[in-house]
Every structure is written in C-alpha cells, then in structure tokens.
A and B are shown apart, each in its own frame.
Chain A
C-alpha cells in the first residue's frame, strides 16, 4: 500500500515535469470528450443542411419517414426546420410507399424491416439513415454510430446512387470518422 503511494507520487512528478518541459510550439488541446448528438432526429436535421436533393426547388417540407415499431419518433421533428423548410415526419411500415419520403429514418427499425425498406429505397432520392457500420455496408447513406461514441459515416456511393449531393463538410465529418476510427 505504501509502495503503491510512492509510485503514484513519482509518476505524478514525472508527468508534471513532462508538462513543464513540453516544447514551445507544441499545441495543447482541451477538447471535450463527449461528442455527437443524442437522437437520430438531431442527426437528420443536421444532415439536411448538407445534403441536396434533385429538384429541390419543388420541396416545400422535409418529409421524414420513420420506421420504428414502438414509440412516437415523429415528435423529434415537431416544429423543427432546416434551410427554411419544416420537417414533416410520419411512421412507415415495411411495405408502405416511399415516394413521398426525402429521408428514411431506419435507426430504430428492426433489421428485417430495415433491409426491406433499404432495398426499396435504393435508386430513390431518399437519404437513408440507419445505425451502425453494417447499415452502410448494406447500402445505407448515413450510418450513425451513437453506440460507438457518437458520430456517423457517409456512404458516398450510396448517396450518388440516390442522386444526393453531399456537402464536403459532411463528407469530411463522415470520412474522418472512418479514418480516425478505423471502422471501430
């Protein structure tokens, strides 16, 4: 017990010396460790700022189709706007039409429904948002990583297939996550 205290004291002293002897031009950082948004809805609202849909001039509101078996996820979009247009959210089932959807939120959808809806949304101008790396592997456009410390990934090939234009900033965020996280 006593030896352990001495070691901790010694380690603290070394650490303090290292701090004092840090080179002049070293950049110290003080970033917060908690990153990312809380809900998928927050991400979706953010994505809309950096995604361009084809024939966007005709869009009067952002229609968010949510595939969620439980709970009222539409409340997350109530009263919110992006680029001057309001969000209109509704729940869709696995076989509901997707023609009116601009965003398909599959973050809370069961895997089977998510696969089906993802397959149906392919080639449509729909921003598909799901959870985890496997969602992107399956062809989703935006893959959230809320359970892995926050952040997201952008599947650029899927976005191109959906004819969605992704802003560079968003791509940078998604790509950085890929590079920094190494897929973790």
Chain B
C-alpha cells in the first residue's frame, strides 16, 4: 500500500489562491447584484411614484373639468423612455377618465415584465378634495437594462479579477518555488554528486533567503568536514597500506595487489629481497642508521624498477617486488640480478659508507606457484637458499666510517612514525 503522492507547493498555493479568489468573486458579485437589484428596484419604485405624483398634479385641471382628451394628453405626455406600459386616470368613483396602454409587448418585454413589473399610484387632490387617482405601471425595462448592465459589469469584473489572480498566482508561485527548486538542485548535487561547490542564488523572499543562507553555512561546514574526512581517510589509508618508514606499500597492500594480479589470470612474478646481516647494522650502529639504510634501499628499489612493478616492504629488512604481467623466468632472473646489483652499490649514510649485501629469490606464478601464499613462500625459500650460499661465501653488509659527513644525519624515523600516527588519530577523533 503506497502513500498518496504529495502535492506540490506550487499546486497548493495555486489551489488556495483559486479557492479564495472564486469565493471572493462569488461573494462580491452576488452581493453587488443583490444590493444593485434592491437599490435599482427601490429607485424604480420611487421614480415611478414621483412620476405618478407629477402626472396627478398635471391631471388636476383635466380631472376637475372632466376633460378626457386633456387627461389623455397628460398621460400621453409621459415620456416613452420612462418604460410606463399602463397609465390610467380615474375619477373619485373609480371610473376611468383616460387610459394609455402599451400594446403588443414583445416576448422580451413580457419576460422582463414578469420579474420586474412595478406599479405606483397617486391621488389627484384639488383644494383638499380627492378628485381621482393616477395609476402607472411599468414592465421594468429600464430596471432590467440597468440590472443587466450591472450583471455584465460584474461578470467582466469577475473575469478580469480571475485573470489577474491567475497571473499573480503564477508569478507568486514562481517567486516562492523557484528559490526552493534551486535550493533543492543544490542539495541534490551535494547528495548525488558530492558537489559541495554549488550554491543557490540570492532570493527576494526573506524567509527563504534566510533558509538559503543557513543552508549554505551548513554546506560550508559539511564541505569542510568532508575535506577533513577525506584527508583523514587518505592518512588512514596510507597508514593501513603503506610502510611508514620507506613509503613503500606494506604487506597488506602487496597482498591485495598480488591477489588482484593472480585473479586476473595473467602471469605474475615475485622478487624477494633481504638485506644481509641487517641485525648487525642495528645492533652496532643503532636503529636510526638501520632505518636510514632501509629507506635508501627502498628508494633505490623504487628507482630501479620498471613502471608496472609494485615494490613493497613486508618485513624488517625484507622487500618484495610484484611484477604483473611478468615475463619469462629468464627475464625475471635478469631483473632480479640487475636490481640486486643496484641495491648493493656503495651507499653513504651519515658518517658511514655502506656496501649493502642483498639476497634475492624469485618465483613465477603458473610455474612455481598457484596462489599468493605459495608465490611468496617459493620466492622466500629461494631467497633463503641464496642467502645461505652468500653467507658461506662471506657476503654480508659492510660499512666503514667516512672521513667527513657528506649528508645530514638521518632523521629519527620512529619519531616521524609516532608524529604521523598522532596526527591521524587526532584527525579521526576531532574531524580536522
């Protein structure tokens, strides 16, 4: 059972305006017609009464002298446009002295007369003596004409008012809804496209403009928080997938990349490097020097590899390189030797000149291994085998003191790591 469709704001405003307008028009029109009808009717009666009184006055002599022709002339003298359809002059006994009647009324006249007929009577008094009376009747045609004119004007006014209201309603509705539509477009842009840069234009309605201003302020806040969140996420991602000492991908990122490479079905190769007797470096020269050595080895590794190779530090002094796609076993062996030579080149660090010893093993998916774990395991075993041979041959990492320091003392990588972690944690906790 679905909820009924919500009405639009514009529709509701228009409907309200139409209802109010129609109500107002009906009330005003009917009221004006009713008032007009009664006023015109009263005026018509008063006018007819005045006409009867005047006619009675003018009939005095004719009635007094019983002059029927003169009496008839008086009645005939009533202007035709007064709409009098029957004029009668009677003497005191009620006998008709003169009578003038409109004959052969048209159908329209009879219809008008049916609703607007009016009559008036006035006595003819001479010297305090009532000689007779004048009776006038009208079919109310002037009244009906005035009423029709009033009705026509009312209808015209109603039409004009209705048209004006339609125009005003459209403008008002547009004026109210347009800013809301623009605001809605901004909200939609934020929600659907994360477009925090969009803004609604200013609006002429104070309440809506206040809403727009507040929303923009809220949007600014959201935008700022979103940027902070992105930065924090990026930092966290770096922390999660990168080795903080060397900047190389860590074991997690390597495993993900290796998994992706193998799941793609192509051939992947893995080089496994280990720094010989690295523990002696740490134990003899201290961890900062050891860290600096690792960083420089990582740097050389990064510089030496082809662009599609993914180097990673997966242990203390253990580095791997994922190659996807990989070439032939020979090509892989050649690359391993090439990189090994590059890493073993003399390396000045602080006041020491190192001659790093690096053991390397490699493995090729589809040849040596079927999955990531096996690939790593095979390469690791190969590397250890090589390391054992090198150990027997006396190969190891060596160093000697330099007469002068060629480069600044290595920075404290542990302190760098702690600072980075603190910044990331603060950023997550406080939304910076």
Specify which chain A residues have a CB less than 8 angstroms from the CB of B388 in the assembled complex.
none
Q: Please tell me if the beta carbons of A169 and B61 are within 8 angstroms of each other in the complex.
A: yes
A166-180 CB mask vs B (1 if < 8 Å, else 0) is 010110110010001
Binding-face segment, B91-99, B232-240, B339-347: B91-99
Provided the pairs A30-B99, A31-B68, A33-B68 are in contact, do residues A24 and B61 lie with their beta carbons within 8 angstroms?
A: no
Q: Please tell me if the beta carbons of A29 and B102 are within 8 angstroms of each other in the complex.
A: no
Complex Cα–Cα for A169 and B65 (A): 11
Nearest to A83 among chain B residues (CB) is B127
Complex Cα–Cα for A36 and B62 (A): 9
Specify which chain B residues have a CB less than 8 angstroms from the CB of A151 in the assembled complex.
65, 67
Question: How close is A18's CB to chain B, nearest CB, in angstroms?
Answer: 12
Q: Please tell me if the beta carbons of A50 and B61 are within 8 angstroms of each other in the complex.
A: yes
Tell me if B70 counts as interface (CB < 8 A to partner A).
yes
Q: Please tell me if the beta carbons of A49 and B126 are within 8 angstroms of each other in the complex.
A: yes
Tell me if B138 counts as interface (CB < 8 A to partner A).
no
Tell me if B2 counts as interface (CB < 8 A to partner A).
no
Question: How close is B109's CB to chain A, nearest CB, in angstroms?
Answer: 8
Q: Please tell me if the beta carbons of B69 and A28 are within 8 angstroms of each other in the complex.
A: no
B48-80 CB mask vs A (1 if < 8 Å, else 0) is 000000000010111011111111110010001
Tell me if A3 counts as interface (CB < 8 A to partner B).
no
Q: Please tell me if the beta carbons of A37 and B101 are within 8 angstroms of each other in the complex.
A: no
Q: Please tell me if the beta carbons of A35 and B61 are within 8 angstroms of each other in the complex.
A: no
Question: How close is B103's CB to chain A, nearest CB, in angstroms?
Answer: 4
Q: Please tell me if the beta carbons of B68 and A35 are within 8 angstroms of each other in the complex.
A: yes
Tell me if A82 counts as interface (CB < 8 A to partner B).
yes
Complex Cα–Cα for A81 and B106 (A): 49
Tell me if B328 counts as interface (CB < 8 A to partner A).
no
Complex Cα–Cα for A30 and B87 (A): 11
Nearest to B98 among chain A residues (CB) is A31
Tell me if B100 counts as interface (CB < 8 A to partner A).
yes
Question: How close is B17's CB to chain A, nearest CB, in angstroms?
Answer: 49
Q: Please tell me if the beta carbons of B100 and A29 are within 8 angstroms of each other in the complex.
A: yes
Question: How close is A46's CB to chain B, nearest CB, in angstroms?
Answer: 5
Complex Cα–Cα for A54 and B97 (A): 34
Complex Cα–Cα for A37 and B306 (A): 147
Option from A22, A30, A167, A173 in Cβ contact (under 8 Å) with B62: A173
Specify which chain A residues have a CB less than 8 angstroms from the CB of B97 in the assembled complex.
31-32
Tell me if B104 counts as interface (CB < 8 A to partner A).
yes
List residues of A (142-180) whose CB comes within 8 Å of B's CBs.
Answer: 150-152, 167, 169-170, 172-173, 176, 180
Tell me if B299 counts as interface (CB < 8 A to partner A).
no
Complex Cα–Cα for A152 and B95 (A): 22
Complex Cα–Cα for A34 and B65 (A): 12
Chain A: residues with Cβ within 8 Å of the partner, total of 34
Complex Cα–Cα for A174 and B89 (A): 20
Q: Please tell me if the beta carbons of A81 and B96 are within 8 angstroms of each other in the complex.
A: no
Q: Please tell me if the beta carbons of A24 and B99 are within 8 angstroms of each other in the complex.
A: no
Q: Please tell me if the beta carbons of A37 and B65 are within 8 angstroms of each other in the complex.
A: yes
Option from A22, A84, A167 in Cβ contact (under 8 Å) with B104: A22
Q: Please tell me if the beta carbons of B101 and A27 are within 8 angstroms of each other in the complex.
A: yes
Q: Please tell me if the beta carbons of A32 and B96 are within 8 angstroms of each other in the complex.
A: yes
Question: How close is B133's CB to chain A, nearest CB, in angstroms?
Answer: 16
Complex Cα–Cα for A82 and B67 (A): 19
Specify which chain B residues have a CB less than 8 angstroms from the CB of A33 in the assembled complex.
68
Q: Please tell me if the beta carbons of B65 and A31 are within 8 angstroms of each other in the complex.
A: no
Q: Please tell me if the beta carbons of B104 and A34 are within 8 angstroms of each other in the complex.
A: no
Complex Cα–Cα for A50 and B70 (A): 16
Tell me if B263 counts as interface (CB < 8 A to partner A).
no
Specify which chain B residues have a CB less than 8 angstroms from the CB of A84 in the assembled complex.
127-128
Tell me if B178 counts as interface (CB < 8 A to partner A).
no
Q: Please tell me if the beta carbons of B65 and A36 are within 8 angstroms of each other in the complex.
A: yes
Q: Please tell me if the beta carbons of A172 and B64 are within 8 angstroms of each other in the complex.
A: no
B326-349 CB mask vs A (1 if < 8 Å, else 0) is 000000000000000000000000
Q: Please tell me if the beta carbons of A27 and B103 are within 8 angstroms of each other in the complex.
A: yes
Specify which chain B residues have a CB less than 8 angstroms from the CB of A1 in the assembled complex.
none
The 9 A-B residue pairs with the shortest CB-CB distance, nearest first, are: A169-B61, A30-B99, A28-B103, A35-B68, A46-B64, A24-B104, A31-B72, A31-B68, A32-B68
Provide a sorted-by-A list of 12 A–B residue pairs whose CB atoms are within 8 angstroms.
Answer: A31-B99, A32-B98, A49-B61, A49-B64, A50-B61, A82-B127, A83-B127, A150-B66, A151-B65, A151-B67, A169-B58, A170-B61
> Residues on B close to A: CB < 8 A?
58, 60-62, 64-73, 76, 80, 95-106, 109, 126-128
